[in-house]
Structure 1
Amino acid sequence: MSTRQAALSLYRRSLKLALDWAVHRHLWRGQALYIRSLFEANRHVTDNRQKRELLAQTEKLLVRWKHPEPYVHPTAPGGSFPPLRPAHCSLSPDTLTTYAGSKYERNLPAPILDPPRQLKF
């Protein structure tokens, strides 16, 4: 991976890490601007040794500031929101609340149900 790709990856990871600490976007925006200014300040560094040192320092900071319980969106896998009754799941309430499913299971098409029978009067 080139240093440019590594720096972009670190920038993105640092923004996501900041979002773990400040869940609301209006609180996060100020932190994002500060992170951007830190990366912009070192944008024109040309020495490869100094670039590697900066990347290593940033990695250490990300490890140091890692959130113990990162924010997970409720509808994401591992989130707190229960799924809407998957086709292959039984209807018992305990399985509905503990079912997580993989990304392939969540993207299954909805089951095709036969239309109700016509009532004859």
Structure 2
Amino acid sequence: MSKPVLPFTEANSKRIASLFRQSLRTAFDSSLKFDAYRNETIKIRAQFEANKHISDANELERVVAKAKEKLAEWAHPDPYTPPCRPGGTKYQRNIPVARGPLVPGDW
């Protein structure tokens, strides 16, 4: 098992912020309307705020593992992908024409 990250350090702050963003993305993938998404974000924020005081490294690891399990459970089978990102509907739709020689070699 890896060494637990101490609370209130920069590494832990980045890890928790990443977990928070993943939670928001997961909520966005599973909600169909903005008002439902907004209600979920408020609930997620309240859960993170409730655990803000944890100072024991072992308890922090337990809470983070529980949050990751919940994220895996709620993961959407077809998550939203922005159109121009890899895997999106417009990704590499209009690739620029190659300006180099079409046939390799010197003729």
In the alignment, the residues of structure 2 paired with residue 13 and residue 4 of structure 1 have an alpha-carbon distance, to the nearest angstrom, of 14
2:83 corresponds to: 74
| Unmatched 5+ stretches in structure 1 | 90-121
Aligned pair count? 89
2:103 corresponds to: none
Q: CA deviation at 1:69?
A: 0.7
| Unmatched 5+ stretches in structure 2 | 6-10, 99-107
Q: Which has the higher contact order (CA 8 A, sep 6+)?
A: 2
The equivalences for 1:1-121 within 5 A come to: 2-81=11-90, 85-88=94-97
Moved more, 22-31 or 75-84: 75-84
Look at both structures and tell me which one has the larger radius of gyration over its CA atoms.
1
In the alignment, the residues of structure 2 paired with residue 82 and residue 61 of structure 1 have an alpha-carbon distance, to the nearest angstrom, of 31
Query: Percent of pairs identical after alignment?
Result: 30
Runs of 4+ with deviation above 4 angstroms? none
- Tell me the alpha carbon deviations over residues 69-102 of structure 1, each in whole angstroms, 9 at most, x when there is no partner: 111123332222475533227xxxxxxxxxxxxx
The answer as to whether partners of 1:23 and 1:71 remain within 8 angstroms in 2 is: no
Q: TM-score, normalised to structure 2's length?
A: 0.71
